[in-house]
Amino acid sequence: MPVRLKINGKDISADVDTRTTLLDLLRERLQLTGSKKGCDHGQCGACTVLVNGRRINSCLSLAVVHDGEEITTIEGLANGEQLHPMQAAFVEHDGFQCGYCTPGQICSAVACVKEGHAKSDDEIREWMSGNLCRCGAYPNIVDAIKDAVAKNA
Amino acid sequence: MNPFSYTRAVDPQQATSVIGSNASAKILAGGTNLIDLMKMGVERPTQLVDINRLPLTQIEELPNGGGVRIGGLARNSDVAEHPLIVQRYPVLSQALLAGASPQLRNLATTGGNLLQRTRCYYFYDPAFPQCNKRQPGSGCGALNGFNRIHAILGQSEQCIATNPSDMNVALAALDAVVQVQGAKGARSIPIGDFHRLPGDTPNIDTNLQADELITAVDLPAIPFATRSHYLKIRDRASYAFALVSVAAVLDLQNGKINGARIALGGVAHKPWRAQKAEAALQGQTADEKTFRAAAEAELAAAKGYKHNSFKIELAKRAIVRALSTAAAMA
Ligand SMILES: Cc1cc2nc3c(=O)[nH]c(=O)nc-3n(C[C@H](O)[C@H](O)[C@H](O)COP(=O)(O)OP(=O)(O)OC[C@H]3O[C@@H](n4cnc5c(N)ncnc54)[C@H](O)[C@@H]3O)c2cc1C
Ligand code: FES
Ligand code: FES
């Protein structure tokens, strides 16, 4: 089935099997391997991307459903060589160890702040609970998000 | 995943005619339960009817001061944060926010949440040979298996699975009405008649017919629902299904209980309206002793299994705490 998407500002058309998830389209067909496949069942958040500005789990969403929509992945956050403030905050605060959950964490964090759900440590923990980190970098992730909020990310 | 054809519905009529004419067609809303179950091989539709573009996302006041209508496609995140829900039905907002994760709630819809299937391990994984819900007549793997998350009220020897939804528990306490549209027309189903107890047919979760689409959920006007609370008890602080949950709505007048609406989650095959507890509260003083007596009355009929008997005392304490919290609200 044909599907047309705007991914990180670029118009893309592809012909996909109806079974293809948005995550598999990104990773396997478009070589946008920043979004990660952790569980493939909505349980970890590693596949988090923004669709029309809202964060979703791309592993539980079919590509064909998103025809005509705007997708932002971790690859689309930076402005050329300049990191997105949330990316910079994660680097500055060591918001990761192995880095596997990080693209999902950062996409989720960008949305979390935009939604207005990052006003306290507790609120950040609750509203970032859809992103698991097996390395347990949680304290630094919270610090990074707080800092990004303070710097008006 | 098995192969399937994909149809994007242009209007509700088309969606109902497709599911009415092809028994193995399914509606696709947020996909957070259906796609997951298709990956597991539990659901194997040959056709998906995508309803995501249908205009069923409204959250609006019903005419004549008569409550609020929530569209069948309204996203869980949007319902949870809508001022009409936050102000008039805080228990529903809290229940939605206690469910899943922000990402999942952005996809999950009202209709899909109503119809989400059990999280019983024996149902969810076809590697287990026994599950009367998945394969009628094969037996219940949970009955003598690992049954920590299973039912303590209203179950049968055929099935001890629970309904996993948080939203449904709040809807049960609020006397919601599910609006559906089928090939032959529209009808309204009170929430108490929507989900079923397992009995001898645990393969049938609800009384929704094969050709019916959920178009909306109506909440009646309940002025005292501003005094309501959702308590969810789970294995971790967030992003986990309920072991036990309680939706409590209290009508208090000068410290006396004029009326109470209580529903329990995580304990039964359907959201469990606690009518015995409600009756025990009627006209009584709102204090811990009354709340405990009401909880005892409701759980008297409960039956535990090898790993889930703890839920009986847990449910009692959860009822007391939810009612105490609601009573203490300004
Ligand atoms: C990791 C994880 C954790 C979760 N945790 C929780 C939790 O803590 N609490 C909780 O309550 N839920 C939880 N959920 C479940 C989640 O809430 C449901 O998956 C979601 O509500 C389903 O909605 P959907 O729109 O995605 O449904 P879909 O997956 O699209 O559909 C589900 C079913 O409903 C049918 N359907 C959908 N819409 C309609 C309609 N309008 N008319 C007729 N049929 C329809 C579909 O055909 C399908 O059979 C969790 C899910 C995941 C993956
Ligand atoms: S890969 Fe999507 S949530 Fe884990
Ligand atoms: S940094 Fe390793 S999983 Fe989060």
- Residue B172: inside a domain, yes or no? no
- Residue B180 corresponds to which tokens in the numbers above? 């559906």
Q: Which ipTM did the prediction report?
A: 0.98
- Residue B314: inside a domain, yes or no? yes
For residue B49, the domain's CATH number is 3.30.43.10
Of B53, B74, B90, the residue at which a domain comes to its end is: B53
On the question of pLDDT at B62 being above 80, the answer is yes
Chain A's closest residue to B98, CA to CA, is A126
B77-119 per-position pLDDT tens digit: 999 999 999 999 999 999 999 999 999 999 999 999 999 999 9
- Residue B285: inside a domain, yes or no? yes
Determine the pLDDT at residue B111.
Answer: 98
CATH number belonging to the domain at A85-151, selected among 3.30.360.10, 2.60.120.10, 1.10.150.120, 3.40.50.300: 1.10.150.120
For residue A104, the CA-to-ligand 3 centroid distance in Å is 10
- Residue B272: inside a domain, yes or no? yes
Chain A's closest residue to B51, CA to CA, is A65
Chain B's closest residue to A40, CA to CA, is B36
On the question of pLDDT at B66 being above 60, the answer is yes
Between CA A144 and CA A85 the distance in angstroms is 10
Provide the whole-model pTM. Answer: 0.98
Between CA B325 and CA B157 the distance in angstroms is 36
* From B35, B52, B103, residue closest to A48, measured CB to CB: B103
Sketch the domain layout of chain A as residue ranges: 2-76, 85-151
Q: Taking all residues of chain B, what is their mean pLDDT, rounded to a whole number?
A: 97
B221-261 per-position pLDDT tens digit: 999 999 999 999 999 999 999 999 999 999 999 999 999 99
Domain count of the fold of chain B? 2
Q: For the residues B3-15, what does the mean pLDDT come to?
A: 97
Element (H, E) at B116: none
A130 contact B CB<8A: yes
Determine the pLDDT at residue A73.
Answer: 98
Determine the pLDDT at residue A153.
Answer: 53
Determine the pLDDT at residue A152.
Answer: 78
Residues with Cβ within 8 Å of residue A97, at least 6 apart in sequence: A135, A136, A137
Per the structure, the complete domain to which residue B46 belongs is given by 5-53
Dihedral in degrees, nearest 10, Cα atoms B148, B150, B155, B157: -60
Q: Write the DSSP assignment of B226-280 as a string of letters.
A: GSEEEEEE-SSSSSS--SEEEEEEEEEETTEEEEEEEEEESSSSS-EE-HHHHHH
Min Cα–Cα distance to chain A from B11, Å: 16
For residue B318, the domain's CATH number is 3.30.390.50
- Residue B111: inside a domain, yes or no? no
Any residues with Cβ below 6 Å from ligand 1, and which? Answer: A 42-43; B 26-34, 36, 72, 99-100, 104, 107-109, 111-113, 115-116, 164-167, 213-214, 241
Percent residues over pLDDT 90 in chain A: 98
Percent residues over pLDDT 70 in chain A: 99
Of B23, B38, B53, the residue at which a domain comes to its end is: B53
Min Cα–Cα distance to chain A from B173, Å: 25
Min Cα–Cα distance to chain A from B24, Å: 16
SS3 per residue for A111-144:
HHHHHCCCCCHHHHHHHCCCCCCCCCCHHHHHHH
Determine the pLDDT at residue A44.
Answer: 98
What amino acid occupies position A62? L
**Which listed ligand is nearest to A133 at the C-alpha?**
3
A89-128 per-position pLDDT tens digit: 999 999 999 999 999 999 999 999 999 999 999 999 999 9
Determine the pLDDT at residue A69.
Answer: 98
Of B53, B69, B90, the residue at which a domain comes to its end is: B53
B330 contact A CB<8A: no
Q: B-contacting residues of A 68-107, CB under 8 Å?
A: none
- Residue B184: inside a domain, yes or no? no
- Residue B99: inside a domain, yes or no? no
CB contact under 8 A, A129 and B101: yes
Residues of chain B positioned with their CB less than 8 A from the CB of A40: 39
For residue B112, the CA-to-ligand 1 centroid distance in Å is 4
CATH topology of domain A2-76: Ubiquitin-like (UB roll) (3.10.20)
B280-321 per-position pLDDT tens digit: 999 999 999 999 999 999 999 999 999 999 999 999 999 999
